[in-house]
Amino acid sequence: DTFRTVTLPMLKKRFGCDDGLSLHVAKRGCPPDGGGEVKLSFPIAKELPGGIDWVTEGLVKRVRGVAFTARIPPQMANRLVDGARGVLNNFLPDVYIFTDHHNGKEGGNSPAYGISLVAETTEGCVLGSDCSSASTRKEREKEEDEGRLLLDHRGGTNTKDHEENAEEEDQSQKTPEDYGRECAEALVSEIQRGGVCDSSHQALVLTLLACSPDQICRVRLGQLTPRSIQCLRTIRAFFGVTFNIQPEPESGTVFLSCVGAGMRNVAKRAT
């Protein structure tokens, strides 16, 4: 949902990929067994637009979102919406979150629920955040596997302590309202961070600017994440493009500018 409502609109509006770009969710698939299916239509791009100057972020005017359920009662989606609106309605009234329920074959092979939120600004920027029970369960299973290996290495465990830990885990399980609030708070944090895109899309924006024509491009981002910093190093090693970084202490944002590498798609003809 975040790819459909945040990534694709950004590619359409800022990077000229508009003709036939779409994503349709046919089936929901969640960890650990998956079973999802999406249909992605992407046009052939000869080259990216040059001279991109994307430095104005604007103010948030509305929030949209999607709360989905897969192979579980649809009432869970309403609880997700209630949790998210409990946070967002304190900031602005224009909040609308759709509900999307999938059952049977369309719900994949594993039951789960989640929510994706998008904040739209007056300048056309979109900031997103998402959260799902499937990702949390996957992380919990990984921690349990690591703990089990550690106990085997130590030569066993106390059954009483194991039962007490299991009871504490059951009591600490999150409700749908908690996931909704967590996603809404993450969206508010992205807005507070500043910049024309959220933290999860910083690396993508930097890569596209590095591939743009041989012209000066500018972008305004929030505090750079470790992934974005590593992406800048990779871009310098692969494309030979170095970004000029100018922080703005007043807003906590960073201005980055570069001269694109002039990458062109010459493998296929575009008519």
Q: Are 34 and 108 in contact (CB under 8 A)?
A: yes
CA-closest candidate to residue 192, choices 249, 250, 252, 248: 252
Q: Which amino acid is at 41?
A: S
pTM of the model: 0.84
Sequence length of the chain is: 271
Q: Is pLDDT larger for residue 153 or for residue 251?
A: 251
Q: Which tens digits make up the pLDDT trace of 129-160?
A: 999 987 655 454 544 454 554 445 555 545 44
Distance CA 93, CA 95 (A): 6
Q: Beta strands 244-248 and 22-27: pairing type? A: unpaired
pLDDT in tens, 234-247: 999 999 999 999 99
- State the pLDDT at residue 63: 97
**Contact, 98 vs 42, CB < 8 A?**
no
Name the least confident of 40-54, 77-91, 187-201.
Answer: 40-54
């989640």: which residue's tokens?
A: 114
What is the pLDDT, as a whole number, of residue 76? 93
